[in-house]
Structure formats: C-alpha cells, structure tokens
Amino acid sequence: MIRDLSKMYPPARHPVPHQPGQPLKFTVTESCDRIKEEFHFLQAQYHSLKLECEKLASEKTEMQRHYVMYYEMSYGLNIEMHKQVGNVLLECKKEVKTNSNHTVVGVRGMQMIYK
C-alpha cells in the first residue's frame, strides 16, 4: 500500500508552496478536492472533444454529399459530351458520304462526256 499520496497523484494545477525539509502530506479533504478538480477538468475536456467530433462528423457528411453531387454532375456532363461527339461524327460521316457520292457522280459524268 502506498503511504505517500504524492506518488499516487500528480501535482495540482496550482501547487501549494512546499517547505524544504518537510514531507508532503495530504489530508483526505485535499485529496478529494484534487480528485474532484481533476474529474471536472477531464469532464470539460471530454465535452469539448465530443463537440469537436460531432462537428467533424457533420462536416464529413456534408463533404460526402457534395462529392456525390459533383460526381453525378461530372458523369452527366461526360455522357452529354460523348453524345455530342457521336452526333458530330455522324454529321461528318454523312458529309463525307454525300461528298463522295457527288464525286463519284461527277467522275462518271465526266467519263460519259469524254467517251
């Protein structure tokens, strides 16, 4: 069993000046007060950390919501761009086909003229 309570409990936040040469002695009331003070300090710290944790959790939820929103927008834009590129390619294909048909008709017409 520990007889010297100074080894069991850390020094108080506001230590009482110690007289050199005298051993530290704590009364039961002082020890209870010190324990109560430390408990209230830890309780306040816990409350502060709990509020911070709740705040971070709500920020995380908000960030996830934004991520999903941006992902959906990006996906929609990507699909739209692919559709537009497909339409442009289809128009180009039609133009090339029309031009090649005109060229073929023009060449055959020229061949008929020169025969």
pLDDT score recorded for residue 1: 43
The rounded average pLDDT for each run of 10 residues, N- to C-terminus, in the chain (115 residues) is 53 57 77 97 98 98 98 96 91 81 61 59
pLDDT score recorded for residue 39: 98
pLDDT score recorded for residue 94: 83
Q: Is 50 exposed, middle or buried (0-12, 13-18, 19+ CB in 10 A)?
A: exposed
The alpha carbon of residue 78 and the mean position of all alpha carbons in its chain are separated, in whole angstroms, by 24
Residue reference for tokens 């009482």: 16
Spatial contact of 4 and 24, defined as CB atoms under 8 Å apart: yes
CA distance 49 to 29: 30
* Range 66-75, long-range pairs (CB < 8 A, 24+ positions): none
Residue 69: what residue type? M
pLDDT score recorded for residue 51: 98
pLDDT score recorded for residue 100: 72
pLDDT score recorded for residue 16: 56
pLDDT score recorded for residue 14: 56
Enter the pTM of the model: 0.47
| CA terminus-to-terminus distance, the chain | 126
Spatial contact of 41 and 61, defined as CB atoms under 8 Å apart: no
